[in-house]
Amino acid sequence: MLRTYGERVHKVAIDAGLSCPNRDGSKGIGGCTFCNNVTFSPNGRAPDPILEQIQNGREVLIKRTGAKKYIAYFQAYTNTYSDIETLSKMYETALSEDDIIGLSIGTRPDCVPDEVIDLLVDYQNKGFDIWLELGLQSAFDKTLKRINRGHGFEEYRQTLLAARGKGLRVCTHLIIGLPGENETHFKATLQRVLNLGVDGLKFHPLHVVKGTQLANDWRRGEYRPMTMEYYVKAVSDLIMMAPKDMIYHRLTGTANKKQLLAPGWCNKKWKVLNSIEAELRSKNKEKVLWN
Ligand code: SF4
């Protein structure tokens, strides 16, 4: 971003008030086992209008970072899960702000029809910085079934190829520490993702939050969270596998203290990031990200 725009660009997170097909019965019921839908709208009320959310985010970011340009990050739920008129209206509301230079659209791989890809490509052709963020989590269908994801690797493959085939950049979201998985699984997942081609990656540790099926499994002792050391090594190993020009949208995830049950280190973002940097430095200086 610094290289492209000559200044910092930050994401402003937006909840557009959409739902998720893995919750409302069209793909599944109950959602992914790790997902607490309440965390997106803690008061159970409708989100503020998009422009209001941008203004609130902008005020915080300008004070904290001095950033004057932003990417509208449609983050909560499934941000392509509506008719095309509704989607274009909400995306264009964000893009109508002078300091919003692009969009990042978080969604599920089984919920991105061609008309949505075409719409996003159209924004890109108009000069906006556009990313499609696909939640894959694992390339193993057995794992995806176990976490009640409601889609398999094949849906990801098709959407990825369709989007990138039209020149849209894709960021793939992967989770480390999924039940039944170990190092072999997440490395194989990344290899399959890299083999198909991808523009950006987002890594997230699996954490246990209140109100989820995973929380029940954890309470019964059926799920054991990772240590920070394990996660740091895992992320560093994955970075070492990826090409040098890969764009990392995120290397760890945090959770609201009130919602987080385990592991406790998940709310120490900078400790995790600094440890990943130290691990990378010890492996290979060329892969260090913050130089
Ligand atoms: S993680 Fe995403 S796809 Fe899964 S239930 Fe939650 S909102 Fe839906």
Give pLDDT tens digits for 133-171.
999 999 999 999 999 999 999 999 999 999 999 999 999
Cα angle for residues 271, 275, 279 (degrees, 5° grid): 175
Choose the residue to mutate in 36, 75, 78, 80 for probing ligand 1, maximizing ligand atoms within 8 Å of C-beta: 78
The domain that holds 188 is classified in CATH as 3.20.20.70
Mean pLDDT over the full length of the chain: 94
| pLDDT tens-place string over residues 96-112 | 999 999 999 999 999 99
Q: How far is the CA of 37 from the centre of ligand 1 (A)?
A: 8
Residue 273 phi, psi dihedral angles, 5° rounding: -65, -40
Supply the pLDDT for residue 41: 53
Residue 66 Cα to ligand 1 midpoint, Å, equals 32
Report pLDDT for 164.
98
Domains: count for the chain: 1
User: Ligand 1, residues 15, 19, 22, 74: which to mutate, most atoms within 8 A of Cβ?
Assistant: 22
Task: Categorize the per-residue pLDDT at 38 as very low, low, confident or very high, splitting at 50, 70 and 90.
Answer: low
Cβ 35 under 6 angstroms from ligand 1 = yes
pLDDT, residue 287, reads: 56
Q: Does residue 45 surpass a pLDDT of 70? A: no
Percent of the chain clearing pLDDT 70 (strictly above): 95
- Angle subtended at Cα 137 by Cα 27 and Cα 198, rounded to the nearest 5 degrees: 110
CA of 178 to the centre of ligand 1 (A): 15
Q: Is 108 in the pocket of ligand 1 (CB under 6 A)?
A: yes
Average pLDDT of the residues in 249-278? 94
Q: How confident is the model at residue 286 (pLDDT cuts 50, 70, 90)?
A: low
Residue-number span of the structural domain to which 14 is assigned? 2-287
Nearest CA to ligand 1 atom 5: 31
Ligand 1 centre to CA of 188 (Å) is 23
